[in-house]
Amino acid sequence: MTEPLLESFELYLSARNCSPRTLTTYLRALTMYFREETEITRQAVSGYLGRMIQEGAAPNTVRGRLAALRAYTRWLAEDGEIDQDPLLGIRPPKIPTKITQGLSDDQLQALLKTCKGQRFRDKRDDALIRFMVETGVRSQECLDLAVSDIEPLKNGQAIVHRGKGGKGRTVAFGPQTAASLDRYLRYRKLHKYRGLPDLWLGERGPLRYHGLNETLRDRAKTAGVEGFYLHLLRHTFATRWLRAQGSEQGLMTMAGWTTRSMLDRYTSSSASERAAEEAKRLNLGDL
């Protein structure tokens, strides 16, 4: 099982009249898995799911990835591609409910301060941090962006085409992020892979998840920000939005959420803080 048979698996799912949503969800989950792992074994899958949990993935996301992997290995065994299903009987991991604090303004400033150099990576990472914190896009949504998706910069909008379930949306960013993106794009014109449509570039071509994770974790370490992981930027976006008195509906639209459960999960950590600020504004003790 050294090479994923995703096209054959897609044909199998289509022949079984799987819904378009299920087909898209399964194939996306498998694609995400094979970006990090080369084979499907119980040990590899357990490690992969463990990393997802550690990085703050939603319980439904973790269970969905496992469901896709189990369907895939079951098909491989039934079609004789492998001797036996390595995930037979595997159970979803227990996912603790946890409250995640977003980054403070001081921590964000410390992160950005590490990007003050004149290297290509400095300009790129400054734009990455600003864009992800202001728009709340998922890491893979950010990596999937093309240069054309953010142009013209003066409009302050980006088209996110490949959200969960294939849904797309428009996200907005302000002048500071636009200026940072502009600086990055000017440096990008000198990059050896500048002809590629991908917005974010690395040393070997388009920036991938591993590269994004590595570069921003390195920034966090340099900035003295402990416990950093990529999904923390999305939590920070949600917290800052509500702290600035942005509407819950607007937050759900920007973040690409379709249910309130996700809103509650992302914002529970700042609920008491916002309630205290609201109480001060109401001044109910003024009798």
CATH, residue 34: 1.10.150.130
Its domain, for residue 74, covers: 6-78
In a domain, residue 22? The reply is yes
In a domain, residue 238? The reply is yes
Same domain, 156 and 65: no
* Residue whose entry in the numeric block shows the structure tokens 């491989």: 76
In a domain, residue 97? The reply is no
pLDDT digits (tens, 9 = 90+) for 145-181: 999 999 999 999 999 975 444 567 899 999 999 999 9
CATH, residue 208: 1.10.443.10
pLDDT digits (tens, 9 = 90+) for 83-128: 999 999 888 777 665 556 789 999 999 999 999 999 999 999 999 9
Q: Which of 61, 78, 95 is the last residue of a domain?
A: 78
Predicted TM-score (pTM) of this structure: 0.65
Total domains in the fold of the chain? 2
